[in-house]
Amino acid sequence: MGGRLFKNFSFFSATLSFFILIGIFSILFTYAQDSIHHFGFDFLGGEIWEADEDDEDIGIFGGFIPIVGTMLSTTIAMIIATPLAMGIAIFLTEIAHKTLIKPVSIAIELLAAIPSIIYGMWGLFYFAPIIQSTFGGQGVGLLTAGIVLAIMIIPFMAAITRDSMNTVPDVLKESAYAMGATKFEVIKDVVMPYSKGGIIGSIILALGRALGETMAVAFLIGSVMQIPSKITDPTTSIPVLLANNFSEAQGLEMSSMYYLALILFIVSFIIISVAKFYFLGKKVK
């Protein structure tokens, strides 16, 4: 009886997740219809976002700038966060003294518990002036948003990678040491290949978090509808544009915002699906 109940509950949970995914897509696609019919695929290349104050069904809306801003800020964050998170995980599993492992692990996990708005406030009032004095620009922009976003996703990536590396059997490492391998060689040739699935999974989850982050990026990216010519220039992203304009949007602008949300949903789904099925399905043995 208990086994059947557990089986049915598991099946219900998995099915519910699938229908929630379909439901989100259906709602976004339905409310984006006006913008899809009005702009079509030209929306993807449009660089103007101007609503008509007299007629809510008239306006020029394009999603190119927020799409580019989302991709660039996420790319900067992943480039910075990935090696740092890998280094933290390797240190905690293979290098750190036993007395350091627990306090450092707790500190890393506490970083994940900090609300994103606090990261945004810290970045705006403390970190942005440092970026401005070091690299020039206005302080807020792609670089500032990308760096703070990297700090936000490091705990997720490091914690999952650490847990994956902890699953490596001691006998594999001891055998490598017995054959004369150095610690670096053991990490490179034994630990990393064995825990590859967890490492890739951590990167996928961190990528999903970075793509959808809103509040911290809203503080730091500048919220300006322009293509950045330098890495320190302000711009905007899809989540930031939605957060700033959604409450006042009507008519065609509202539909265009749903169109943007649909694009973000599809991009996130494609990236995570390709990474999961290609890397985890084919390269992890």
> How far is 118 from 253, CA to CA, in rounded Å?
30
Bridge partners for 60 per DSSP? 50
CA-nearest of 151, 76, 166 to 112 is 151
**Are 84 and 159 in contact, with CB atoms under 8 Å apart?**
no
> Taking each helix axis from N to C terminus, what angle separates 251-274 and 2-31, rounded to the nearest 10 degrees?
130
Q: What is residue 281's predicted lDDT score, i.e. its pLDDT?
A: 57
Q: What is residue 49's predicted lDDT score, i.e. its pLDDT?
A: 84
Residues 6+ apart with CB under 8 A from 194: 167, 168, 172
> How far is 245 from 240, CA to CA, in rounded Å?
9
3-state secondary structure of 50: strand
Q: What is residue 54's predicted lDDT score, i.e. its pLDDT?
A: 61
Q: What is residue 82's predicted lDDT score, i.e. its pLDDT?
A: 93
> How far is 169 from 128, CA to CA, in rounded Å?
44
pLDDT tens string, the chain, 285 residues long: the values are: 667 888 888 888 888 988 998 999 999 999 999 899 988 888 888 888 887 666 666 778 888 999 999 999 999 999 999 999 999 999 988 888 888 888 888 888 888 888 888 999 998 888 889 888 888 778 888 999 999 999 999 998 998 899 889 888 888 888 888 888 888 888 888 898 888 888 888 888 888 888 888 888 888 998 888 888 888 889 999 999 988 888 787 888 889 999 999 999 998 888 778 777 765 555 444
Q: What is residue 283's predicted lDDT score, i.e. its pLDDT?
A: 47
Q: What is residue 279's predicted lDDT score, i.e. its pLDDT?
A: 59
Q: What is residue 215's predicted lDDT score, i.e. its pLDDT?
A: 83
Q: What is residue 278's predicted lDDT score, i.e. its pLDDT?
A: 62
> How far is 112 from 106, CA to CA, in rounded Å?
10
> How far is 28 from 262, CA to CA, in rounded Å?
6
> How far is 277 from 266, CA to CA, in rounded Å?
16
Bridge partners for 51 per DSSP? 59
